[in-house]
Structure 1
Amino acid sequence: MTDRPPRGGSSSAEDYLPWLIVGAAAVVFLGFLGVWLGGTLGAAVSGSGWNPPPFGLTTLSSLVQDGPAALWPDASAASVIAGIAVTAGLLIGLIVVVVLLFRGRGRRTPGLAGRKELAAMLPKGAAARALQLRPGLKKATGGKPAPDDTGNLLGDLDPNGPELRSSYEDVELDLMAPRAGKSTGIAVPRVLRARGCVLLTSNKSDVYAVTRAERERAGQVWTFDPQGIAHTPRALWWDMLADARDIEGARRLAGHFVGAVNDDASKRDFWISAAQNTLTALFHAAAKGDRRVDEVLGWLADPADRTPIDLLRDAGMHALAEQLRGTVQGAVETRDGIYETARQCVSCLLDPRIAAWVTPDPVMPEFRPDHHVLGSGTLYLLSKDGGGSAAGVIAAVADSVLRAGVRAAERMGGRLEPPMTAILDEAANVCRISDLPDLYSHLGSRGINIVTLLQSYRQGSRVWGEAGMDALWGAATVKLLGAGLDDADFVEKVSRLVGEHDVRTVSHSRSKEGRTRSTSYRLQRILPADRIRALPKGTALLLATGVRPALIRLRPWYAEPGAERIQAAAAAEQHAITVRAAKELSR
């Protein structure tokens, strides 16, 4: 006896024979139906009346032997043939549509989520959820909100499904390699479709150039560009020390500058921790004494200057003053090491072009985070990465806006209305908020829809440590994994998360008694690691809380309605950037 499964899981010709018979019968039936119905309609149109012949084998035999004239003898032959042709065309068209629909469904990877599992993200489900989360939306829209009022557009369900939207309560983490569609398919569409205020960080000017003109229609645009990414002239200043008026704010401000130079937040040695404590005391002293950033730099340059200690004592912060005094009066080698580390952390402020953005200027308007979060304006935070970058300042501004949004939400009863959109593009390079994983756990419930864009899981681990990145991954209620993920361990982990599904295997056996057929099932990965790594550009794996994974197609901004107008404005803005850059180089 032999027992062999067919190669490639295919069946023998004998297995297909019943289906061939059924298919041939279906073709004959549909062909006869088309001729019978079309000929009757053609005869009726020609004036012979509705006189259909019997729908049976006798009529079919007569049709084959004698042609249509034998069935409709009183009708015009041309009318009968025309009716048959039109009806046959309609039937063929219907069959083609059905085949295409089933073919499209067949391309969907087995085991991934479909329409039923993703019902809450489909247009109807997203609208219902938005009306629950935003009570004022029902009154403002009459219960029929616009699509962009119902949530963030993620993309279209692959291969030909409807659009999917996350709610404004979701917080998102997106991992994609460079040039995989982060800007065109995520950052730009989110900025363009945002209903409330917007916060965007980036180390490039592409998103800024595409979206600036459109966002000016929605509200005031603020561009914080201390290193000339978009070569925009300074038109604002931000009070960096305003948040340092309490100890928590001063510590957070110091942490942003420390985080900008510390490559791994999980590895903080004595000098880094001591430098953060010293900067906390100096920032708090400057804020309490209404001093400026340049004075803080002067205190760092001269540890013997007792001005910050006196300011802290005058403000009633005696414990903090004594701690600072102990650092200053400690061993010279230790003190100098702490102060030198602190100087390195804030070295970007030695550049007068950067310091000007955080120094009071009576001529320029002041950017107020507490005002920004209540409107529909846009804040672009642009900075280079690497040495000498203004990443510490950028992280401080972003954190100040997020905290202002939380306070505003608390005053509104718990949730910002309209929701705030925060897109932290290149977060690991230019916006290292040290406790970002902790913020994720409650920003969504405050109506702050935050999206963090990273190039890889490992990139985030270098900034927040393994534990911090795990916390960020776990707190994100929506995760998009795009093309170009080359970390083998991470991709294997994702493959296990996606899970397995049953695969049907047919085997045939031959013996003296005859031939038998058996069916068995085995578990197989829904998406093996190599397939996740090879996701095409413009697609992404969607991992949403409480839903099976799904494959989606991103919707790039240039393929949407109105793209021509946006492209024209983007070209004009990019030309202006080029002109400004040329002028700066000629100076």
Structure 2
Amino acid sequence: MDGVSGPRGTDPGDQVQWAVAALAAFGILAFTMVWAGGTFGAGLAGYGWDAPPFALSTVSTLLSAGPAALWPGAPAAVTYAGMFGVLTMVSVSVVLVINLFMDRGRAPKGLAGKRELAAMCPQGIEARARELRPTLKGRERLHPDETGNLLGDLDPKGPELRSSYEDVELDLMAPRAGKSTGIAVPRVLRAQGAVLLTSNKSDVYAVTRAQREKAGTVWTFDPQGIAHAPRAMWWNILGECHTIEGARRMAGHFVASVNDDTAKKDFWISAAQNTLTALFLAAARGRAPLTEVLAWLADPADRTPIDLLREVGLVAMAEQLQGTVRGAVETRDGIYETARQTAACLLDPEILAWVTPDPHLPEFRPHEHVLGTDTLYLLSKDGGGSAAGVIAGLADATMRAGVVAAERMGGRLDPPLTAVLDEAANVCRISDLPDLYSHFGSRGINVVTLLQSYRQGARVWGEVGMDALWSAATVKLLGAGLDDADFVQKISTLVGQHDVRTPSISRSKDGTSRSYSYRQESVLPPDRIRALPKGTALLLATGVKPALIRLRPWYKEPGAAEISAAAKAETAAITERAAARLLPGLSLGKESDRGAVRA
């Protein structure tokens, strides 16, 4: 019947023909391996290279008289060994070919391969590093970690991919999808220069502290006892407030810590930031302690900050603050109450002590930190009463110190500063981070912002701000557990589509014909992006097709045993310090009481 289509091979006659052909091919292949193997075995053993005829008579002789009749003088063991060797070589070749095709089948069509990612592969990234880092010029061999930041291995079988030292990164992954083990910890361990890490947990700190001690000083800023590290440093928060810009930025960090969307500031938030800016500036210029700022917030009628601003020539700022104080009582009290809420964490004496000068402890100086190989851990709880404003202020001060140092070096830090902003939406809300992102990259400041979802970032920086952060990030990693349907659909659209060829077989009395049709299909449908396995990530790099990579967890890398042992010891020390804090008088054993340790 004309025009009938059906699956190939449904006719019993066709099946018999294919079976006979397959059996004949198998027989020829088996005889070829026996014939070649016996000849190679006899020849290599020194019994001559005289091959028997490649004919059916040889098969008959082999079956009836054995290999001795075909290779006279050669022991049977020699010929059998040759046959086994040929069989092994053929089998290995077949397995390699099958694996090659299976790998191609596993890799989704339409994603980037080695050729498209050449600039991120070892040879390309090394060439780029020599251009960006003057200190590497003239050296014949470089350690891979000197050339760029490890991202992972190209799926399914490599090579390893690295971002350059002018890239800035945004990573979106659900909890327990590998952010800490596959990104934060490796970045800290492999960093070539100074390190800054923010977090609301002690896991990354516990794993990396001992190794970073070998590189330089470890500064632990832990005002809320995340790692229960004893206070062994202090940072002069007012030291960043000697200019109007610095005071405004510091006030903005406190405001952002209580404002869910920094892109939207109502009257009270804006007015509170202005007031807090004036008070910080007055204290910094007037050499007043931070406790005085809290006293001024508690008593709006206190004219001391106004007088201090006038004395240092900041008349306009003094007039503005005086206007707020002399305004309607209800408005004034509302502004000051909002300002008090933003700075409420400073009412905690334990937090205040970390930002108050202490002559018995070393002072952390951001402009010195960025020039070395030291490590700064910024740990804070999230939610109410957190020290997020202080953490954001210190992180911002450190990265801006890196910008100043880079300008003095000719434009770029070398070695680069690594800033891992883990839980950035909770403990490090730098309101203008999206605007600073690309600027940091051009200065040799490698910022990695880790978020649980796109929506989490939008809640902090607003839709416009998050879009700007997304656009400014030159490298983006999207890991497992992204459940935002709209966002995942957009990513699927960005990844694009590819052509899928569909065969169609038609049978008629004149014979069988085959035709092909093409249709468009998503390279990675939304459901597949959402279901990315743990430990894998979708790589979106500027100017390159998307690629699928496998993260490299620290515990699978060389030297993991030593790091793991140190991490267990540090975790035990954290537990002991926590118990000692809850039960005063409990011995802390041999654990060092230092927060800043010189290697």
TM-score of the alignment, normalized to the shorter chain, above 0.5 = yes
Please list, as runs of the form range in 1=range in 2, the aligned pairs for 1:58-457 lying within 5 A after superposition.
67-139=66-138, 142-457=139-454
Q: Aligned equivalents of 2:21 and 2:255: distance in 1?
A: 74
Per the alignment, residue 45 of structure 2 pairs with 46
Q: Aligned equivalents of 1:129 and 1:12: distance in 2?
A: 55
Report SS of the residue matched to 1:261.
Answer: coil
Cα displacement (A) at 1:48: 1.7
Q: Which moved more, 1:554-563 or 1:389-398?
A: 554-563
Per the alignment, residue 576 of structure 1 pairs with 573
- Structure 1 residues 517 and 94: CA distance shift in structure 2, 3 A: closer
CA contact (8 A) 1:131 1:143 kept: no
* Cα-to-partner distance string for 1:472-507 (whole Å, 9 max, x where unaligned): 001111111111111111111111111111011111
Query: With structure 1 as the length reference, what TM-score do the two structures score?
Result: 0.95
- Structure 1 residues 86 and 134: CA distance shift in structure 2, 3 A: same
Q: Which moved more, 1:460-469 or 1:52-61?
A: 52-61
Q: Aligned equivalents of 1:214 and 1:385: distance in 2?
A: 27
Q: Which moved more, 1:427-436 or 1:28-37?
A: 28-37
Q: Which moved more, 1:283-292 or 1:390-399?
A: 283-292
Cα displacement (A) at 1:63: 5.2
Cα displacement (A) at 1:71: 3.0
Query: With structure 2 as the length reference, what TM-score do the two structures score?
Result: 0.93
Report SS of the residue matched to 1:48.
Answer: coil
Cα displacement (A) at 1:121: 1.3
Give the AA of the match of 2:358: D
CA contact (8 A) 1:3 1:507 kept: no
- Structure 1 residues 185 and 310: CA distance shift in structure 2, 3 A: same
Q: Aligned equivalents of 2:458 and 2:5: distance in 1?
A: 46
* Cα-to-partner distance string for 1:352-409 (whole Å, 9 max, x where unaligned): 1000000011000000000100000100000000000000000000000000000001
CA contact (8 A) 1:203 1:430 kept: yes
Give the AA of the match of 1:447: G
Q: Aligned equivalents of 1:507 and 1:90: distance in 2?
A: 38
- Structure 1 residues 318 and 499: CA distance shift in structure 2, 3 A: same
Gaps of 5+ in 1: none
Give the AA of the match of 1:193: R
- Structure 1 residues 500 and 41: CA distance shift in structure 2, 3 A: same
Cα displacement (A) at 1:28: 5.2
Q: Aligned equivalents of 2:123 and 2:343: distance in 1?
A: 50
* Cα-to-partner distance string for 1:534-574 (whole Å, 9 max, x where unaligned): 11111111111111111111111111111111111101100
Gaps of 5+ in 2: 585-599
CA contact (8 A) 2:380 2:427 kept: yes
Q: Aligned equivalents of 2:51 and 2:367: distance in 1?
A: 78
| 2:558 aligned to which of 558, 561, 565 | 561
Report SS of the residue matched to 1:82.
Answer: helix
Report SS of the residue matched to 1:326.
Answer: helix
Cα displacement (A) at 1:109: 1.1
- Structure 1 residues 407 and 28: CA distance shift in structure 2, 3 A: farther
Give the AA of the match of 2:461: W
CA contact (8 A) 1:156 1:553 kept: yes
For this pair of structures, how many residues does the alignment match? 582
Kindly report the root-mean-square deviation, in angstroms, between the aligned alpha carbons of the 2 structures: 2.2
Q: Aligned equivalents of 1:226 and 1:546: distance in 2?
A: 42
CA contact (8 A) 1:187 1:425 kept: yes
Per the alignment, residue 529 of structure 1 pairs with 526
Q: Aligned equivalents of 1:240 and 1:26: distance in 2?
A: 82
Q: Aligned equivalents of 1:4 and 1:410: distance in 2?
A: 75
Cα displacement (A) at 1:41: 2.7
Q: Which moved more, 1:254-263 or 1:45-54?
A: 45-54
CA contact (8 A) 1:3 1:508 kept: no
CA contact (8 A) 1:383 1:394 kept: yes
Cα displacement (A) at 1:181: 0.7
* Cα-to-partner distance string for 1:504-528 (whole Å, 9 max, x where unaligned): 1111234565443210100011111
Give the AA of the match of 2:135: G
Report SS of the residue matched to 2:73.
Answer: coil
Q: Aligned equivalents of 1:478 and 1:289: distance in 2?
A: 44
Q: Aligned equivalents of 1:333 and 1:567: distance in 2?
A: 58
Give the AA of the match of 2:307: D
